[in-house]
Structure 1
Amino acid sequence: MIQRIDAFRPLEASRWGWRCFQIGLFFLPSSALLASLLLFPSLLMSSWRSERPFWRDPWNAPLFLASFLMVIGCFGSYSGSLAWVGMGNWLPFFWAFWGFQPYVSSAEARRRSALWLVAGSFPVVLTGLGQLWWGWQGPWQVLGGLIIWFMTPGGKPEGRLSGLFDYANIAAAWLALVWPLALAALIQPGLSKLRRGVVLGLVVAFVTALVLTESRNGWGSLVLVLPIVLGPISWPWLVPLLAVGLGLVIVSVVPGVPLLIQAPVRSLVPEGIWGRLSDSQHAGERALASTRLSQWGVAVQLIAERPWLGWGAAAFSVIYPLRTGKWHGHAHNLPLELGIAHGLPVAALVATLVLALLIVALRRGLTRLFDRAWWAAVLTLMVLHGTDLPFFDSRVNIAGWILLAGLRCLLRPSQEGCQKGCQERSLDSELGVDA
């Protein structure tokens, strides 16, 4: 077992750091605490022996400048001490972006990391299905109550799968970021029939769980990643098929379409999909202040009032009720949330970094299957953060910065291989894949 864990350890990674990192990834979907007990030591070990100082990598410059502006802004923040507490959502992860890179510096290491995330996500799927289908409920405790899972019977909100997460949309965000990695695990060449059958069962469970979250963002991610992961060879047949399917869904939900046309189309599209997308069950009931448009409008106003250093972390949750009479914890858009909390320069620096990583990696070519899946996972997270903020869940946040670290490593010259003395058998042979 240890030999398999040590296989394809990147040149830059220490043996114990590599072990802690992989096992930490496996525990991450189930418990941020358990994962952190392993990932934090791996981060310390990689930082201690790193041959690439933080300040020498130009990709770290936007994060360094953003950190400086965030700290300056805290001194005059509207939200007081909450501004300093909110720094915990950012500064440690700026460090992690650099510190985790040795563990995802090679194609084999990224593939191994992807498979650990997929395998570790099975408890999320299992508990979510059990929650909806078999009435499982918590709280479940381990380690004397140090770790508690609050399982709501029937899901949270009612009827929507949430599993080990606090809310269905957060569970959907996790499943969405893992979905392209799971798809790559399924279609990689050379798997034996038995192994491919096992992976197929897991992927079917993933898709089922993601659909049952009833998250519109999650549903979109199922479609978004398909042409990316499957690659250009699939586009001649996949793109027309997706176009027809999406066309039917659009016709079934867009208001104003004649009933003579819409009714037969809705008979082809599952009612749960077009009903959820058209939000017909809430039509006319929601106040404007409860909608994304209202939240974004207020967010823009707040940024205009304090554009340079922002109001401080968590300020939106304090100010929004005062201006609208409705409470919301955040702006449901990451650049807007950053702009409110820390100012436009910080929002621009962080957003530009992510966009630049995606664009440069795409321009350099994504020839490997798991590199396409890795890129698709980052793109999915970026899209999700356009209308929600799942990064407030520490598990999603940690995974997101690890994915960004791997994307940064994609831009370096290839440094494939493993340490001398490393197990020579490749991950391909472990999975039954031809080298």
Structure 2
Amino acid sequence: MIIKELKIQIKNIGGFGQLCFYLGTFFLASALPIAGIFYLIALFTSIHKTKRSILKDGWNQILIVSSGFILFSSIKTNLFHLQNNTNEIQYSSSWYSLFNWIPLFLIFIYFQHYLKNKDQRSWFSKILISGTFPVFFSCLLQYKYRLYGPWETFGGLIVWFNKPLYGIDGGAPFDGLSGLFSNPNYLGFWLSTIFPLIVALILENKFFNYKKFFTIGLSLLTVILILYTRSRNAILNLFVTSFLVFGLKNLLLALIIIILIFFFVDLLKFGSIFPEAFARIGSIFYSQYLRFNIWSNTIKLIAQRPIFGYGAATFPIYFSIRDIGIQHTHNLPLQIAYDYGILNSIILTLFVTFLVFRGYQAILEAKSYKETNIFNRCWLIASFATIFHHFFDITYYDGKISILIWILLAGLKCIIDECKKSKKYV
């Protein structure tokens, strides 16, 4: 029945490009190269079908300006090697970093064709969640059965990391569940981002049937796995998004239920790190203190080259010179300012901020859309979660995550346009 509905939806709305978009979404979490192939086909199909100037949209114009800054900064970094005081810096890496931005701007612009209405966005959410089942499976293999990777295929293009876990059986301190991702923070980001979309499926289903019970169970599993990642930012993200979805009263009730389930799970000896996971929350404040030191040092560096930055991929080298061995700034606006200059950071930060704000306005004004408003609100919260996370950590440079972020932002732009057309929001 579900497959039949999907076929009808693809045929009536998007055709072949829509199908490739959905296939790319299904493989996004578990097989990025395969997802990339389908997304490329969907991208070129959308470019061919839309046949309109991207300059007509003000949002697109902002991204074009930002692309110019990024491109010029990369050229300047490579050609002039501004005040280069170490031969370790590989300036050519800044060319590769262009793929973290410019192609994703195209995704934002052209994937709106596949997210124009609520049905398209709803199917995207369902397929994204379905595509996350390999992630759940990898977590089960890693935690319960102690089956570790990395497992590679297609010459190493597809890798399931499934890193060894320590501390569960008396070893070293527990590092956190990561599943097929290379880092627990990446898994935590992914799960905390899709959580509001799972909740949307629960709230939209008014009847207590097997579908609702299944999605409720799936949401609880997602929460449990987020806690097992021991990722401070993911846990913080979970609380913030849960508050936005449920409100304070319902959130407290949900937390009580989750705590009881966790203690029951611990009682059955399925897990033993629940107290540690919540103790991890208390260390958030300490970790943020350390981040303030990183941020202050980053700001000093930015002040020396405020216009075009240092170029991408140079941050670990400059900070190792200062005896601070970190890979990034732990704040995406600061990272962009360091890489490409303050002005470009302001442009992209304001772009995303205003997009979320206008989405909030649109959904607030569209109260008469009772059925679609629940889903749109959860989509907005998922989009907000991706932004909130990047004020304290950077997971953006994982291709799976950056693609997901820009697709969510594209869908948010479609929500704004949809409300405008319906004259519910001006």
5 Å matches for 1:136-215? 136-143=147-154, 146-154=157-165, 158-191=174-207, 193-215=209-231
**1:318-374 per-position Cα deviation (integer Å, ceiling 9, x unaligned):** 101102x13211111000000000001110111111100111111122541111111
CA RMSD between the two structures: 2.9
Counterpart-to-counterpart distance in 2, 1:137 and 1:346: 41
> Which residue in the other structure is 1:75 paired with?
75
**1:137-156 per-position Cα deviation (integer Å, ceiling 9, x unaligned):** 12323456542322212179
Deviating more after overlay: 218-227 vs 36-45: 218-227
> TM-score by structure 2 length?
0.82
Counterpart-to-counterpart distance in 1, 2:318 and 2:363: 45
Which residue of 282, 291, 299 maps to 1:278? 282
> Which residue in the other structure is 1:412 paired with?
417
Counterpart-to-counterpart distance in 2, 1:179 and 1:240: 17
Instruction: State the secondary structure of the residue aligned to 1:397.
Output: helix
Instruction: State the secondary structure of the residue aligned to 2:347.
Output: helix
Instruction: State the secondary structure of the residue aligned to 1:30.
Output: coil
> Which residue in the other structure is 1:35 paired with?
35
Counterpart-to-counterpart distance in 2, 1:314 and 1:123: 31
**1:143-192 per-position Cα deviation (integer Å, ceiling 9, x unaligned):** 56542322212179944110010000111011111111011112222355
Are the counterparts in 2 of residues 358 and 375 from structure 1 also a CA contact under 8 Å? yes
AA in 2 matched with 1:355: T
> Which residue in the other structure is 1:135 paired with?
146
AA in 1 matched with 2:229: T
Identity of aligned residues (%): 28
Counterpart-to-counterpart distance in 1, 2:187 and 2:41: 27
Instruction: Tell me: CA distance 1:371–1:42, structure 2 relative to 1, closer, same or farther (3 Å).
Output: same
Instruction: Tell me: CA distance 1:144–1:390, structure 2 relative to 1, closer, same or farther (3 Å).
Output: closer
Higher relative contact order (CA 8 A, sep 6+): 1
Deviating more after overlay: 332-341 vs 1-10: 1-10
How far the C-alpha of 1:273 sits from its partner, in A, is 4.4
5 Å matches for 1:29-428? 29-77=29-77, 78=81, 80-143=91-154, 146-154=157-165, 158-191=174-207, 193-230=209-246, 235=247, 237-238=249-250, 271-279=275-283, 291-323=290-322, 325-366=323-364, 367=367, 368-413=373-418
Counterpart-to-counterpart distance in 1, 2:250 and 2:194: 21
Matched positions, count:
381
How far the C-alpha of 1:20 sits from its partner, in A, is 0.7
Instruction: Tell me: CA distance 1:396–1:228, structure 2 relative to 1, closer, same or farther (3 Å).
Output: same
**1:32-79 per-position Cα deviation (integer Å, ceiling 9, x unaligned):** 111111111001100111144211110111111111111111222255
How far the C-alpha of 1:219 sits from its partner, in A, is 1.2
Are the counterparts in 1 of residues 363 and 376 from structure 2 also a CA contact under 8 Å? no
Provide structure 2 residue ranges, at least 5 long, that are not aligned to the other structure. Answer: 82-88, 168-172, 258-273, 368-372, 422-426
Counterpart-to-counterpart distance in 2, 1:118 and 1:306: 42
Instruction: Tell me: CA distance 1:243–1:34, structure 2 relative to 1, closer, same or farther (3 Å).
Output: closer
**1:236-258 per-position Cα deviation (integer Å, ceiling 9, x unaligned):** 7337769999xxxxxxxxxxxxx
Instruction: Tell me: CA distance 1:155–1:34, structure 2 relative to 1, closer, same or farther (3 Å).
Output: farther
Counterpart-to-counterpart distance in 2, 1:273 and 1:158: 10
Are the counterparts in 2 of residues 106 and 415 from structure 1 also a CA contact under 8 Å? no
Counterpart-to-counterpart distance in 2, 1:413 and 1:369: 15
Counterpart-to-counterpart distance in 1, 2:126 and 2:420: 21
Instruction: State the secondary structure of the residue aligned to 2:330.
Output: coil
> Which residue in the other structure is 1:258 paired with?
none
Instruction: Tell me: CA distance 1:60–1:241, structure 2 relative to 1, closer, same or farther (3 Å).
Output: same
Counterpart-to-counterpart distance in 1, 2:68 and 2:156: 38
> Which residue in the other structure is 2:262 paired with?
none
Deviating more after overlay: 97-106 vs 201-210: 201-210
**1:262-287 per-position Cα deviation (integer Å, ceiling 9, x unaligned):** xxxxxxxx74245313339x98xx9x
How far the C-alpha of 1:7 sits from its partner, in A, is 3.4
How far the C-alpha of 1:216 sits from its partner, in A, is 1.4
How far the C-alpha of 1:93 sits from its partner, in A, is 0.5
Counterpart-to-counterpart distance in 2, 1:162 and 1:277: 18
Instruction: Tell me: CA distance 1:52–1:190, structure 2 relative to 1, closer, same or farther (3 Å).
Output: farther
Counterpart-to-counterpart distance in 2, 1:243 and 1:214: 17
Instruction: State the secondary structure of the residue aligned to 1:186.
Output: helix
Counterpart-to-counterpart distance in 1, 2:248 and 2:144: 39
Are the counterparts in 2 of residues 168 and 215 from structure 1 also a CA contact under 8 Å? yes
Instruction: Tell me: CA distance 1:161–1:273, structure 2 relative to 1, closer, same or farther (3 Å).
Output: closer
How far the C-alpha of 1:301 sits from its partner, in A, is 0.9
Are the counterparts in 1 of residues 228 and 277 from structure 2 also a CA contact under 8 Å? no
Counterpart-to-counterpart distance in 1, 2:415 and 2:216: 28
Counterpart-to-counterpart distance in 2, 1:388 and 1:302: 19
Are the counterparts in 2 of residues 62 and 353 from structure 1 also a CA contact under 8 Å? yes
AA in 2 matched with 1:105: K
Are the counterparts in 1 of residues 205 and 212 from structure 2 also a CA contact under 8 Å? no
> Which residue in the other structure is 1:266 paired with?
none
Instruction: State the secondary structure of the residue aligned to 1:148.
Output: strand
Instruction: State the secondary structure of the residue aligned to 1:392.
Output: coil
Are the counterparts in 2 of residues 14 and 46 from structure 1 also a CA contact under 8 Å? no
